[in-house]
Amino acid sequence: GAGVSQTPSNKVTEKGKYVELRCDPISGHTALYWYRQSLGQGPEFLIYFQGTGAADDSGLPNDRFFAVRPEGSVSTLKIQRTERGDSAVYLCASSLGDGDTQYFGPGTRLTVL
């Protein structure tokens, strides 16, 4: 079946602009995660949804970052007033339920000029 998909695959923006990154989880997966991966590093947790609600948003670096999952499926990560330090690959993962294997999407490479 189809895996986790993310759009766009690449996003180049200017400092101060607003961006939205989209994640389509595997059908039927109730849990969805956002991670951020900088060059040469492991993924770092941002936020976790169980259904429509954010069960853990402790990884969001500041209030410029926000994520939603209004219908318990697709999720959007929103970044306001982007900064050069936000440049990274943003990975989405989904799992069938609590404690199950997390399957990753291909990521969105965000470049802030």
Q: Which of 67, 77, 88, 91 binds other proteins (CB under 8 A)?
A: 91
CA dist 2 → 8, 22, 87, 110 (Å): 17, 16, 28, 24
Q: Which of 13, 20, 22, 44 binds other proteins (CB under 8 A)?
A: 44
Site string for other proteins, 12-31 (x = CB under 8 A): -------------------x
Site string for other proteins, 60-89 (x = CB under 8 A): ------------------------------
Burial category of 63 from C-beta neighbours within 10 Å (exposed 0-12, middle 13-18, buried 19 and up): exposed
Q: Which of 14, 18, 55, 61 binds other proteins (CB under 8 A)?
A: 55
Q: Please, what sign has the CA dihedral across residues 41, 48, 81, 61?
A: negative
Residues that bind other proteins (CB under 8 A): 4, 31, 33, 35, 40-45, 48, 55-56, 59, 91, 95, 97-99, 101-107
